[in-house]
Amino acid sequence: MYPHTWLLKRVHLLKSTVYQGVIFDLDGTLMSSSLDFQAMRAAINCPPEQDILAYIDAMTCIETQQFAIDAIIAFELQDAQEAKVIDGVLDTLHHFKSHNLPLAIVTRNCRQASHIKVQSGKLPIDIILSREDATAKPDPEALLLIANDWGLQPQQCLYVGDYLYDLLATHNAGMASCLYAPNGLPHYHQQATCVIQDFSTLIEIVCGG
């Protein structure tokens, strides 16, 4: 169960703001993901506490780095073939499109896997920034690029994601965050502007019902 008083307070705060664009994470937010991060780390000898992308980026041997990049992409492409659209996502996205709300995706996934997922899920979103297009989250670069492309200030946009890096990226960008947490509250949930369990709540937050 969610602490309803806290959640309602956060929803009230969100409703006082008019959002003119919504940006989404991809894996675990719009599309399912079954990536085995333990296996991914083992494949490239990445320590358990280390961020995989940061670990690869810090490699000094070009051949070793390329091997690691290829290994991670192979995991991501396999995951993309098996991914399914999350319940409620399509109805929510089409609702936003009907209100002429600009939509985009910012993901730490590779470009090829990201596009496979968007196409297989029939997600009505054309702007997709992967880690090849901008510095990966929690860096705010991709979020700020999209807001600028839309001619909006960061605070006029809402970012929806399911993990700590999503919240950190919004903090770094000066953007509101919506944590998608269908299976209960993670320990970092209070860093989010608001939390949702399902996408019908997101429609209410952004469009007022």
Residue 107, token pair as written in the block: 């993901």
Do 3 and 189 meet the contact criterion of CB atoms below 8 Å apart?
A: no
pLDDT above 70: residue 30: yes
State the DSSP H helix or E strand holding residue 62, giving kind and residue range, or none if neither. helix 62-82
Residue with tokens 């280390």: 50
Q: Can you give the pLDDT at residue 209?
A: 52
Residue 202, token pair as written in the block: 């997101």
Q: Can you give the pLDDT at residue 204?
A: 85
Average pLDDT of the residues in 33-52: 95
Report in angstroms the alpha-carbon separations of 190 from 6, 69, 85, 108.
Answer: 9, 33, 27, 22
Q: How many CB atoms lie within 10 A of CB 17?
A: 14
pTM over 0.95: no
pLDDT above 70 covers a percentage of the chain that reads: 91
Residue with tokens 């999350």: 86
- The one-letter code for the residue type at 137 is K
Q: pLDDT of 172-196, one tens digit each?
A: 999 999 999 999 999 999 999 999 9
Task: Describe the strand order of the beta sheet including 21-24 as a list of residue ranges.
Answer: 127-129, 103-106, 21-24, 157-161, 176-180, 194-196
Residue 159, token pair as written in the block: 């970012």
Average pLDDT, the chain: 91
Q: Can you give the pLDDT at residue 208?
A: 66
Tell me the CB-side half-sphere exposure of residue 57, using CA atoms within 13 A.
9
4 or 132: which leads in pLDDT: 132
**Cα–Cα distance measured from residue 19 to residue 149, given in angstroms and rounded to the nearest whole number:** 15
Q: pLDDT of 103-157, one tens digit each?
A: 999 999 999 999 999 999 999 999 999 999 999 999 999 999 999 999 999 999 9
Q: Which domains does the chain have, with CATH numbers?
A: 4-31+84-207 (3.40.50.1000), 37-82 (no CATH)
Buried-state track 109-128, b at ≥16 Cβ within 10 A, e below 16: bbbebbebbbeebebebebb
Q: For residue 17, name the pLDDT band (cuts at 50, 70, 90).
A: low
Q: Can you give the pLDDT at residue 109?
A: 97
Q: In this structure, is the dihedral angle defined by the CA atoms of residues 102, 123, 88 and 35, taken in order, positive or negative? A: negative
Average pLDDT of the residues in 26-37: 96
Q: Can you give the pLDDT at residue 205?
A: 86
pLDDT above 90 covers a percentage of the chain that reads: 85
Q: In this structure, is the dihedral angle defined by the CA atoms of residues 175, 179, 185 and 188, taken in order, positive or negative? A: negative
pLDDT above 60: residue 9: no
pLDDT above 50: residue 2: no
Q: Can you give the pLDDT at residue 207?
A: 79
Report in angstroms the alpha-carbon separations of 29 from 60, 105, 152.
Answer: 33, 10, 23
CA-wise closest residue to 172 among 121, 124, 127, 134: 134
From first CA to last CA, the distance across the chain in angstroms is 23
Q: pLDDT of 60-82, one tens digit each?
A: 999 999 999 999 999 999 999 99
Q: For residue 1, name the pLDDT band (cuts at 50, 70, 90).
A: very low
